[in-house]
Amino acid sequence: MKVSKITGGRQMLKDWQDAFGHEIYDYFNGERSYEIVERDDGYIDISGGAKNYFSEYSEWQEYEKEAMKYVRGKVLDIGCGAGRHSLYLQDKDYKVLGIDNSPLAIQVCKERGLKKAMVLSITQINSRLGNFDTILMMGNNFGLFGSFKRARWLLGKFENITTKDALIIAETRDPYQTQLKEHLEYHRLNRKRNRMPGQLRIRVRYKRYVTPWFDYLLVSKDEMALILRDTNWRIRKFIDRNGGVYIAIIEKNL
């Protein structure tokens, strides 16, 4: 399924629901760990492990490094996971707040040295957090928008917590860049349900831990442009990687 760090957009997870948090906490403490992603049509996939969530800048791919050049000012890292992007930017003297709805992920971030990290879901973002110049949604975290309707609602919230020349740096994957029969069938199922074809209904499992079901949105470039239409945000640039993965640099309509 190739979905990275899926912590969802819901409220803070209870311990038995914090599958992702336990996965990265165990890896941080020297254990081999992985996650199983279960889709609501019964399709199951397994990750390659938690190592990537801890990767250093020297190990990042070029498209990720290119995206970091657009970061400016005060940064909100949504779905920060183990904190790899937040810690890199903090080391570059940016003021960074990392948020995640996984309590154990935030604990790992703090133990790794992230100065500002808090347990918060994407839907709980509000003006009390402050004003940001950059919103970071790396690791396929455009998916945390969940659906077309919720994405547009959240973009409105983002407008209220950002400066006039703020940027959103968001990574996603084009769901149509696949030949896998199970994925193509799922696209057809979603169309019948009046959902976007790349709108996944999933949950994550690790050991005895399992998240609630949540929506996770993969979009093509055209679909992203459609989501942004008639909002106060527009696409400035795409940074491509092979396999349909890309990062969008999104700016405000001034």
Percentage of the chain beyond pLDDT 90 is 93
Q: How far apart are CA 156 and CA 72, in angstroms?
A: 20
Q: How high is the mean pLDDT of the chain?
A: 95
Helix (H) / strand (E) containing 86? helix 84-91
CB 214 within 8 A of CB 47: no
Q: Which two tokens stand for residue 98?
A: 């990392």
pLDDT tens profile 52-96: 999 999 999 999 999 999 999 999 999 999 999 999 999 999 999
Half-sphere exposure of 52 (CA within 13 A, CB side): 15
Position 174 in a domain:
yes
pLDDT tens profile 243-253: 999 999 999 98
Position 4 in a domain:
no
3, pLDDT greater than 60: no
Position 9 in a domain:
no
Position 28 in a domain:
yes
| C-beta neighbour count of 169 within 10 angstroms | 25
Average pLDDT over residues 230-239: 97
Find the domain containing 206 and state its range: 15-252
For residue 8, the model assigns a pLDDT of 46
Position 161 in a domain:
yes
Q: How far apart are CA 186 and CA 197, in angstroms?
A: 7
Query: Is 21 exposed, middle or buried (CB count within 10 Å of its CB: 0-12, 13-18, 19+)?
Result: buried
For residue 48, the model assigns a pLDDT of 79
pLDDT tens profile 20-59: 999 999 999 999 999 999 999 999 999 878 999 999 999 9
Q: φ, ψ for residue 230 (rounded to 5)?
A: 65, 20
Q: Where residue 1 falls among pLDDT bands split at 50, 70, 90?
A: low
Q: Please list, in sequence order, all residues whose beta carbon lies within 8 angstroms of the beta carbon of residue 93, skipping any fewer than 6 positions away.
A: none
Position 5 in a domain:
no
DSSP 116: S
| C-beta neighbour count of 69 within 10 angstroms | 10
Q: Which two tokens stand for residue 60?
A: 């990042």
CATH code for the domain of 239: 3.40.50.150
pLDDT tens profile 140-154: 999 999 999 999 999
102: nearest Cα among 28, 30, 217, 15: 15
**Domains contained in the chain, number:** 1
Position 236 in a domain:
yes
| Backbone CA torsion sign across 45, 51, 53, 55 | negative
| C-beta neighbour count of 212 within 10 angstroms | 12
Q: Please list, in sequence order, all residues whose beta carbon lies within 8 angstroms of the beta carbon of residue 122, skipping any fewer than 6 positions away.
A: 9, 78, 79, 99, 101, 144, 145, 154
Position 172 in a domain:
yes
Q: What is the torsion angle, in degrees rounded to the nearest 10, for the CA atoms of residue 159, residue 66, residue 71 and residue 80?
A: 80
Can you list the positions of beta strands (E) in the chain?
36-39, 44-46, 75-78, 96-100, 117-119, 132-137, 162-173, 199-206, 209-210, 214-217, 233-240, 245-252
**Confidence (pTM):** 0.94
